[in-house]
Amino acid sequence: MTAVDDQQHEAAGEAAGRRASLSRTAAGRPVPLARLRALNPLDRLPLSEKAIGWVAPIGLTLLAFALRLVHLGTPKRFAFDETYYAKDAWSLLNNGYIQTYLTDVDGNPKTDINADILAGHTQGVWTGEPSLAVHPDVGKWLIALGEKAFGMDPFGWRIASAVAGALMVLVLCRLVRRMTGSTLLGCVAGILLMFDGLHFVLSRLALLDIFLALFILCGVSCLVADRDWLRARLARGMAPDPGAGDEADRASYPSRRAWGPRFLFRPWLLAAGVMFGLALGTKWSAAYPLAAFGLLCWLWSAGPGAAWGSGARSSRRRSWTGSRPSCTWWSWPHSSTSPPGAGGWRTPTSTRSTSPPPSTGSSPARATAPRTTTRSWRPTWTRTDGGRPPRSRTPAGSARPGSRCARSGTTTRTPTPSTRTS
């Protein structure tokens, strides 16, 4: 191939780039760097919009709580499993552990213990023997707080569930707002949850499921916040130039490892652990979402950490913003050009000619003619972020065959067939 062919291939590559460029959006605007995309756009909103992001969800939360307070003490009886959890909470509050209840307190054989408690006989109703605890006590202690504040009646043992249900509306609004970047969509999600039938009923009964759902939702919200916190911290650690980032952040930025830097203190991840711990303390069934979201948390941490932590060395390689390049070694005999559409950066071919010394033996028939072998290796860098290639440790034009690319995990070498001339 000639230099004219090189120019034609370059022009074709540029035309293809104009037709389907990875550096611009469909509207023609430049795509922001991964370092900038990693920063949560909500953090750059003006103060008025940030205030709306809190005022609107709080307003929906108060509305949801008001809806759940209407006739909260009706029906005035133990509904479904309230006969276990409400009485267990009352025993925890008075005795410190769950005791079994007497079958009758007022001496009237026509009424059971539930009717006696509703009639106001709330003391001296236990046998002193411990009761079987099917679930942990966190949710029961929350029910006991309502009973402590309002007494051992239907309103008292249900008020904690109403508070938990209203708080779920607030957490969901903020979670969806963080994930979508829209306060409107976050409020829509909160409205849908506020009028959900199952959620509305569970918010008005002294059951453990509403507390379990609240703690799991809070744990997921903390994990999403930890993902944004981690990406923002990684982005600040790879500032494009020495004066672009916070000096304190770069000074405290940990060393790079195979799976990225290691942050020993991640506040949102710690909060997520507390929330999932409270969920496990409410019902053992929280172990299943804990395992699922634990795996998701590892993936969220390993992805940006491996791409930015070990690949992007802070500001020393400031052009690389998260996407890993791949290096493929192409070879063509007696060629110094790249294939059509290969793109990337070109380096001079590495050509080695070997001419063995003439034979000096006694038999002239064994003498061999000079042999010339030409091999060509060409690295082609493929990247998606529009940056520059990293510096190679081997000077251009002297790269030895089979050398590893500076940023690639594998190297493929294709030598050309030897050409013998005599």
The pLDDT tens digits for 75-129 are 999 999 999 999 999 999 999 999 999 888 877 888 889 998 998 888 889 888 9
C-alpha closest to that of 308 among 325, 296, 320: 320
pLDDT at residue 396 above 70? Answer: no
Mean pLDDT calculated for residue range 346-358: 45
d(CA 151, CA 121): 12
Confidence bin at 391 (pLDDT 50/70/90): low
Highest-confidence range of 2-11, 162-171, 225-234, 307-316, by mean pLDDT? 162-171
d(CA 412, CA 410): 7
The pLDDT, as a whole number, for residue 338 is: 39
Mean pLDDT calculated for residue range 123-152: 92
Answer yes or no: are the C-beta atoms of 40 and 235 closer than 8 Å. Answer: no
Peptide bond into 75 cis (omega under 30): yes
The pLDDT, as a whole number, for residue 259 is: 57
C-alpha closest to that of 38 among 310, 229, 254, 220: 229
d(CA 214, CA 412): 52
Per cent of the chain over pLDDT 70 is 60
What average pLDDT does the structure give for the chain? 74
Higher-confidence residue: 106 or 150?
150
The pLDDT, as a whole number, for residue 305 is: 62
Answer yes or no: are the C-beta atoms of 211 and 139 closer than 8 Å. Answer: yes
pLDDT at residue 326 above 50? Answer: no
Answer yes or no: are the C-beta atoms of 181 and 42 closer than 8 Å. Answer: yes
Give the Å distances, CA to CA, from 181 to 34, 45, 52, 263, 311: 17, 10, 13, 26, 28
| Model confidence pLDDT, tens digit, residues 161-178 | 999 999 999 999 999 999
Confidence bin at 247 (pLDDT 50/70/90): low
Residue 404 backbone dihedrals phi, psi, to 5 degrees: -80, 145
Helix (H) or strand (E) holding 152: none
Q: How far apart are the first and last CA of the chain?
A: 25
Query: Do the bridges between strand 326-330 and strand 378-382 make them parallel or antiparallel, or are there none, so unpaired?
Result: antiparallel
pLDDT at residue 206 above 50? Answer: yes
Give the Å distances, CA to CA, from 160 to 5, 166, 237, 280: 77, 10, 44, 18
Give the three-class secondary structure for 163.
Answer: helix
For tokens 């992805």, the residue is: 303
Mean pLDDT calculated for residue range 143-150: 96
Mean pLDDT calculated for residue range 391-417: 48
Answer yes or no: are the C-beta atoms of 248 and 322 closer than 8 Å. Answer: no
What is the widest separation between alpha-carbon atoms in the chain?
Answer: 129
Give the Å distances, CA to CA, from 107 to 99, 104, 113, 129: 20, 6, 10, 21
Q: What is the reported pTM?
A: 0.65
The pLDDT, as a whole number, for residue 263 is: 78
Answer yes or no: are the C-beta atoms of 282 and 139 closer than 8 Å. Answer: yes
- Sign, CA dihedral 385-387-391-395, equals positive
The pLDDT, as a whole number, for residue 213 is: 97
Beta bridge partners of 101: 126
